[in-house]
Structure 1
């Protein structure tokens, strides 16, 4: 062990007395407007079914979807080739 001259061998920090803080009971948070709306919608299953029936997807259906998938496949072909050459694995998507 190396000792440095003119320094005390051990440095003691003064101990501070511990202060016991009183434990506070958790405060009940008020419900927000969003939380109230979610709780209300969960209680009403008809409202949920009505909302699900009105959902419209942003994807074409049928032949239009197949055409779009083919177009996107051609569009991303370069990226697929770069990825397969980088990783060394053929990607079939």
Structure 2
């Protein structure tokens, strides 16, 4: 083979290798973007679940507080009646 042919063949091989490398690099970048997107979705989902749980717990606490307030009010009324009776 002539040196020009060898040089041309080497250039073609290098070009093919660099195209393959760029293609692979693009695939890796896409995979990284997909991974980041999935992580963001997971974080958003977890944040929504935590917020939902917090709101549920807050609601339960408020219900319990209201119930306890009603019980205290009943108890106070009962004690007031007992005190008035004793006077």
Query: Could you tell me the TM-score, scaled by structure 1's length?
Result: 0.22
Larger Rg: 2
Q: Which has the higher contact order (CA 8 A, sep 6+)?
A: 1
User: Whose helix proportion is higher, 1 or 2?
Assistant: 2
Query: Could you tell me the TM-score, scaled by structure 2's length?
Result: 0.23
